[in-house]
Structure 1
Amino acid sequence: MAAACPPLLLAALLLAAAAATSALTDDVLALVVFKTGVSDPSGRLATWTEDDDRPCSWPGVGCDARTGRVTSLSLPAASLSGRLPPALLRLDALLSLALPRNNLSGPVLPNLLAALPRLRSLDLSSNRLAAPVPAQLFAQCRYIRAISLAHNQLSGYIPPAVTSCASLVSLNLSSNRLAGPIPDGLWSLPSLRSLDLSGNELSGSVPGGFPRSSSLRQVDLSRNLLAGEIPADVGEAALLKSLDFGHNLFTGGLPESLRRLTGLQFLGAGGNALAGELPAWIGEMRALERLDLSGNRFAGDISYTIANCKNLVEVDLSRNALTGELPWWVFGLPLQRVSVAGNQLHGWVKVPEDAAMALRVLDLSRNAFSGEIPSRITAFAGLQSLNLSSNSLSGQLPAGIGGMRLLEVLDVSANRLDGTVPPEIGGAVALRDLRMGRNSLTGGIPAQIGNCSSLVALDLSHNSLTGPIPSTMGNLTSLQVVNLSQNKLNGTLPVELSNLPSLHIFDVSHNMLTGDLPNSRFFNNIPDSFVMDNSGLCSSRKNDSCSAVMPKPIVLNPNSSSNPSSQATSSAPSNKHHKKIILSISTLIAIAGGAAIAIGVITISVLNRRVRARAAASRSAPATALSDDYLSQSPENDASSGKLVMFGKGSPEFSAGGHALLNKDCELGRGGFGAVYKTVLRDGQPVAIKKLTVSSLVKSKDDFERQVKMLSKVRHHNIVALRGFYWTSSLQLLIYDYLPGGNLHKQLHECTEDNSLSWMERFDIILGVARGLTYLHQHGIIHYNLKSSNVLLDSNGEPKVGDYGLAKLLPMLDRYVLSSKIQSSLGYMAPEFACKTVKITEKCDVYGFGVLVLEVLTGRRPVEYLEDDVVVLCDLVRSTLEEGRPEDCIDPRLCGEFPMDEALPIIKLGLVCTSQVPSNRPDMGEVVSILELVRSPQDSAEEELV
């Protein structure tokens, strides 16, 4: 018979069993309460029920095999929403808590780490957590080793107490709204290996104090507002493998201590204001695989010692002031991606016979390279993108291009190439983007172009191509953008072009084409600007007269009023059923029965002769003034005081006379500040000229120049570049890049269903505009006039924000002037414009952006006037959502071809941006983070800790 258990031991066992049972019951209750505290639309928690004694078989729940206690809770991307439930604090045996990629909101629980003393890993990334990070969160870190609160909406400062978390190995607070400085002592955490603070609004200088004993492997401080110099002792952290300081406000040079990081694999410092020469000691960083120093002010030659970095895969030195020749190691190392675009490199592009063949992307654009394109470059069989645009390359395009079967992008535009488009181009079957515009190409468009079945964009404009457009282009069913303008093409447009379903730009203006347009929805509604100056081209379906396609130019006085009565000679009759009739001078003379008409004709003829005579004389004159050749004659114009200034590259003269510069037939549109016209520079580049109509409000000449030169420094992918300006006391012109895709307003409200923007295009436009506005705000520029007509599209459909910062040209920022002059489109104007006591800030742009978002998604105008009602878009969308009909907020032309899980958060974002209270609207940087999260939520699996 077994010995009896001692009473004291038996009592202890019973108490332990009771305690374990009680704790297990607490875990069940805590999880059930957690379930009731969140919304679970996908039913992931359906099997969680209080009837179970043990939760260990529930989805997302893990238990200790010995005690049965809940030790892990993992519910990634479970569609959970609601505030973070306090019931989590009762799971005091938790080792790991992972709830990433949900819709959880509210603040982070302040005592989360204190209540879960055993917690090792915390992942709440990619939710909607808001409010400042609680100061007491890190007060009792204990055993925590990994924390990720990335991709939320957290604000405030990083609590200094985080530096007491001695066990911390990984800290990720990226893509939030955190501001203020980086806490001192962060680098001294003994176990810290990975730190990601990117995508916030952190400011101030980066503290030094990197210890030699540091365990750091990865540091990412990119996309903040950090300033000053990069810490001189950063190289003391000898174990670093990835270091990213990119897209901040850093100045100075690269600290020499970096040369000690012989194990560093990625160095990112692009998008700052770093200067000086590229240090030769970069070659000592032998493990380097990726180097990004783009968008700085580095000067001098590119060091040959970089060739010592034998593992380099990617190098981006673009947008600096580098000089000298292209270094040999570009082709000598097994590099896959190289960009030196936007520098001052010159000389020949030499490809050695023993070149490595690993290149996938090569961008040498916007430099001063000369000579012929080396035929050896076609030996790079794996090349996917080749950009040689905006150089001084000459000769012919190598025929071997056709053998590059993986080539997707080829851009050789804006060079001095001659010869023909090689027929072998048809062999590049993967080509999606082919750009050969602004060269001196001759001959015809080869029929083999029809073999490039993947082609999306084709630009052969501004050449001397002849012959017909090949019918084989009708095979290119993916084509969206075609620009064949400014050539000598003849014949008729092939009927096969009507087979192109995705076409939204087809510009054949300024050629010698004849006959009818193809019969398709696109060509039946093609803008006249795409077919102008083809005297024999017309459309019987539009009842167009061939002679009316390109009216004979009439010189207009740029200082004349925009009142139609003052432009009677060029205005169409107001009755919309009457056809616009523009008569040539010879016709006017033939029918001139009245003396007034005859005098007008003679006056115009005299002015045109004077324009031509002065244009010939001006070719030899210095290009510091815009002479009367480019303006209509007016006693108010003081040509001697006129000043033309061009920024950067570009000819300071225009290729045509006054009739092309400020001709009503070249007018692109009108706004609160004035009219915009299209013209062409001497080098063949089209530009848009804005003639300001606020002369009485414009600042003095010096202030005007100062402000315009400041705006000229704005350089961003999603912002229209200011190229130059012209000044007299009575006339001011601003010169911008010309964008062929028109404006967003026309794309949204004037396109047919077949030509309507797709969901992806709309999303890209919203994100691009947000990025552009973020850039402006980071540089202290408020737009004041954001609306769909001020969002322009380039040939690829990329959005670019225009008309920015013009309010600063006025002597005083009067909100009533702004509301009447600048904010002329009702519906976009923030409510604070109506209140004298509320400060006008960047938040007024956020309001206009919110309206724009709703306009893009719904396809409706910001304000619509019905027979007995006025519909405000913001109110309509808000009420529709409240009624539970989110699908009714989407443009019906999308026909269900959109993901509601992307559309719904963007609709809500638009409504938040249009809050009546400015402080309730997010910053544009926060908007970008939210949109990027919606577009591509990050899968951040729990990092394995050692």
Structure 2
Amino acid sequence: MRSFRFHLLQQATNYFDEARVVGHGGFGKVYVGELEGKKFAMKRRSLESSQGQKEFQAEIELLSGLNHRNLVSLIGFCDEENELILVYEYMEKGSLMSHLYGSGKPSLLNWKQRLDVCVGTAKGLHYLHTKAIIHRDVKSSNILLDEKLHAKVTDFGISKPGPELDQTHVITEVKGSFGYLDPEYCKTMLLTQKSDVYSFGVVLLEVLCGRPAIDRTLPLEEVNLADWGKEMLRNGQLEQIVDQEISGTVKQRSLMPFGQIVARCLEDKGADRPSMGDVLRYLEYVHSLEAKKNALTRSVAMICVKISNVADGFSGPSTPHRVSPVLDDSIISVAGNSDEPVHDISAGSSDDETDHGISPGNSDEHDHNVSSQLIKPGISKALLRSNAKIFERYEDPDHGVSSELIGPGKRKALTRSDAKIFER
């Protein structure tokens, strides 16, 4: 852990120029500065802050003993001339909150990117819990994204060492952010790891809905996101609360289990909530459903190339741009329009192949706007053979998805289904 001189940090931030401010928190403003040719984030305590030397020392001591890819790294500190400054690695893409709502959003996160962020955050929080540390201020503004949109948890100023092995809770004054606070913790002052789970459930709702935890511009019953979200879930109206900017891309196969995770995290009693380790496993399952959908989409795209090549008199993959424009618009419909039953996470779902919904019966023929003119007489058998080869050799380097996704006996069914779709 490096100790910085104050004058160096002044120079690095152009004397704490307001133009260098990239964030605000309970401790103070966060500035971006450059030291030795590299960017860093510098959190400087403000005179108005209720946090002080105690929180400053707590964060230094806590982070100096932690090392995880989903936690923001503390590079060093400055404690001189009544200045308290923490120096962190710089997170290029800012906070998760800034990408979800508000004016001047830097970019729109699609559904898969949002799931990536959720999984990464859950990994960071799970790591903290394995170290017997309760974050106590989990919220979307405390989840930062690097240049590759990898999520990292930050702001450990009010984090608390968890209970000893023979205890279940820590008695402490209530601290945190309104809208994210565990109601059981507020009532009893008993802080547990399940308090973080509740707060993370609110973050999951923010990710799904694209709105803040508290929004006083909305009707009274919608002001508190957690309360409103739970009511909508109880009424079976999950689809109606999905962020309009991504609603057309969120499929039932991942939406419903994601909603189940949210509901369990937001249970009133901590004992009824899953552990962060369980939440992580559930989210990884939902993420795998999206990965499989994308893998199948790419497989269908490859099939389309094969079809177009054969129909036009070509036999090799040397003409990848000969896919029909009609097919381009229907690839998602063929691969992703799945209405199979979702796993019930409360029952301890497994990853059995039979539950992944890759079957010929899940596609509605009216959704496949594929011109029959693309298929000439005698093509079907060639299509079956080429499909089988495609699925046998297919591998997705991004997700580690291979032909194992298509279980034994499903390749033939899938190729028959594809043939029928394309003949139509």
**Alignment-mate amino acid for residue 229 of structure 2:** V
Distance of aligned partners of 1:867 and 1:902 in 2 relative to their CA distance in 1, 3 Å threshold = closer
Instruction: Determine which of 679, 686, 689 is the counterpart of 2:42.
Output: 689
Instruction: Determine which of 873, 878, 892 is the counterpart of 2:244.
Output: 892
Q: Distance in 1 between matches of 2:209 and 2:133?
A: 29
1:736 and 2:88 equivalent? yes
Displacement of 1:797 in angstroms is 1.0
- The two structures, once aligned, show a CA RMSD in angstroms of 3.2
Query: SS state of the match for residue 832, structure 1?
Result: helix
Distance of aligned partners of 1:692 and 1:832 in 2 relative to their CA distance in 1, 3 Å threshold = farther
Q: Distance in 2 between matches of 1:747 and 1:696?
A: 28
Displacement of 1:898 in angstroms is 1.5
**Alignment-mate amino acid for residue 860 of structure 1:** R
Alignment of 1:706-855 (within 5 A): 708-728=60-80, 730-750=82-102, 755-807=107-159, 815-816=173-174, 818=175, 823-824=176-177, 826-835=178-187, 837-855=188-206
Instruction: Determine which of 855, 866, 869 is the counterpart of 2:217.
Output: 866
What TM-score do you get using the length of structure 2 for normalisation?
Answer: 0.60
Q: Residue deviations 1:826-854, cap 9 Å, x none?
A: 2111113422x441111111111000001
Distance of aligned partners of 1:770 and 1:729 in 2 relative to their CA distance in 1, 3 Å threshold = same
8 Å contact from structure 1 (residues 667, 678) kept in 2: yes
Bigger Rg, structure 1 or 2: 1
8 Å contact from structure 1 (residues 720, 802) kept in 2: yes
Q: Distance in 1 between matches of 2:147 and 2:212?
A: 24
Q: Distance in 1 between matches of 2:150 and 2:112?
A: 12
TM superposition outliers: structure 1 runs of 4+ over 6 Å: 751-754, 940-943
Q: Distance in 2 between matches of 1:626 and 1:731?
A: 10
8 Å contact from structure 2 (residues 171, 189) kept in 1: no
Q: Distance in 2 between matches of 1:931 and 1:659?
A: 39
8 Å contact from structure 1 (residues 829, 844) kept in 2: yes
Displacement of 1:805 in angstroms is 4.9
Q: Distance in 2 between matches of 1:706 and 1:753?
A: 33
Q: Distance in 2 between matches of 1:690 and 1:848?
A: 23
Q: Residue deviations 1:59-80, cap 9 Å, x none?
A: xxxxxxxxxxxxxxxxxxxxxx
Distance of aligned partners of 1:741 and 1:712 in 2 relative to their CA distance in 1, 3 Å threshold = same
Distance of aligned partners of 1:919 and 1:838 in 2 relative to their CA distance in 1, 3 Å threshold = farther
Query: SS state of the match for residue 190, structure 2?
Result: coil
1:856 and 2:207 equivalent? yes
Displacement of 1:865 in angstroms is 1.5
* Equivalent residue, structure 2, for 1:916: 268
Query: SS state of the match for residue 926, structure 1?
Result: helix
Query: SS state of the match for residue 249, structure 2?
Result: coil
Distance of aligned partners of 1:714 and 1:896 in 2 relative to their CA distance in 1, 3 Å threshold = same
* Equivalent residue, structure 1, for 2:5: 626
1:675 and 2:29 equivalent? yes
Does 1 or 2 have the higher relative contact order (CA < 8 Å, sep 6+)? 2
* Number of positions where the alignment pairs a residue of Structure 1 with one of Structure 2: 284
Alignment of 1:606-685 (within 5 A): 626-628=5-7, 630-631=9-10, 657=11, 659-660=13-14, 662-682=16-36, 684-685=37-38
Distance of aligned partners of 1:661 and 1:680 in 2 relative to their CA distance in 1, 3 Å threshold = farther
1:935 and 2:300 equivalent? no
Q: Residue deviations 1:271-321, cap 9 Å, x none?
A: xxxxxxxxxxxxxxxxxxxxxxxxxxxxxxxxxxxxxxxxxxxxxxxxxxx
Q: Distance in 2 between matches of 1:877 and 1:712?
A: 37
Identity of aligned residues (%): 33
Q: Distance in 1 between matches of 2:21 and 2:61?
A: 25
User: Which of the pair is proportionally richer in strand?
Assistant: 1
Alignment of 1:89-238 (within 5 A): none
Query: SS state of the match for residue 192, structure 2?
Result: coil
Alignment of 1:25-40 (within 5 A): none
Distance of aligned partners of 1:918 and 1:679 in 2 relative to their CA distance in 1, 3 Å threshold = same
Q: Distance in 1 between matches of 2:52 and 2:66?
A: 21
Q: Distance in 2 between matches of 1:759 and 1:867?
A: 24
Query: SS state of the match for residue 215, structure 2?
Result: strand
Displacement of 1:658 in angstroms is 6.3
What TM-score do you get using the length of structure 1 for normalisation?
Answer: 0.28
Q: Distance in 2 between matches of 1:716 and 1:938?
A: 27
* Equivalent residue, structure 2, for 1:31: none
Query: SS state of the match for residue 734, structure 1?
Result: strand
